Structure 1
Amino acid sequence: MKYLCLVYLDAVHWNACSDDDCAAYAAQVAASQRLLAAEPLHGTHTATTVRVRNGEVTLFDGPFAETREMLAGFYLVEAPDLNAAIQIAAGIPPARHGSIEVRPVRELQVGAAQGADPG
């Protein structure tokens, strides 16, 4: 099963872990064939939030929610269960300075949606 490990850090700890540390851990997880993708994100000041209401697109600078911790990056992993995904998340270097949210990925049923009766 796929799990998304979302890395959250506050502004004080945004650069607490070097890219080298994160890349080394990603390489270790990749060597075990459990890593599907991992990427850091630029700071929230680079974010644009998009909303569509009644067919109208509205843009906002920055993230939608004002929070103390901001989404800093992610690791998409393959694990047999939540406990195994948590073990992987616990090793992510920024976990020492922020938090890692682990969520199972829900498979999108594209074929079923295309063949579904809209009425």
Structure 2
Amino acid sequence: MKYILLMYHTEGVFTQDEMPGQMQLALDLCHQLHAKGQFLGASPLLPVSAATSISSKSGRLEVVDGPFAETKEQLGGYVLIDVPNLDDAIEVAQKFPAAKRGTVEIRPLFELEGIPKV
């Protein structure tokens, strides 16, 4: 089953000194998943200051700088995995740095027929 691991944490939760090591840990985990055939993709995200949110309620386009909701934690990145079940997804998610200083949301993907393959 395919899952997305959404990494949430407060901006600046890792110091400048910690960041390279934490990024390397995440990269190593992605390589381990790839070696098992379980890695589908991943990417960190730029800070929320680079975000743009849109809505088109009532046919009127509204464009806002930044995230849609004001929260302390922000979405910092994602990892796509293909593992047999939720227990395995939990096992993978707990190893990522965001699980130690934030939250990793685990969501199964809904595989919609007709979506172009990458």
TM over 0.5: yes
1:29 maps onto 2:29 in alignment: no
Deviation at 1:55, TM superposition (A): 2.2
Counterparts of 1:62 and 1:9, CA distance in 2: 16
Aligned-residue CA RMSD (Å): 1.6
52, 70, 76: which one aligns with 2:74: 70
CA contact (8 A) 1:8 1:69 kept: yes
Deviation at 1:14, TM superposition (A): 5.0
| Residue of structure 2 equivalent to 1:4 | 4
For structure 1, list consecutive stretches of 5 or more residues without a partner in the other structure. Answer: 112-119
| Residue of structure 1 equivalent to 2:102 | 98
Counterparts of 1:95 and 1:17, CA distance in 2: 15
| Residue of structure 1 equivalent to 2:57 | 53
| Residue of structure 2 equivalent to 1:13 | 13
Counterparts of 1:81 and 1:45, CA distance in 2: 35
Structure with the greater alpha carbon radius of gyration: 1
TM-score, normalised on structure 2?
0.85
Deviation at 1:92, TM superposition (A): 1.3
TM-score, normalised on structure 1?
0.85
Report sequence identity in percent: 34
For structure 2, list consecutive stretches of 5 or more residues without a partner in the other structure. Answer: none
- Matched to 1:11, the amino acid is E
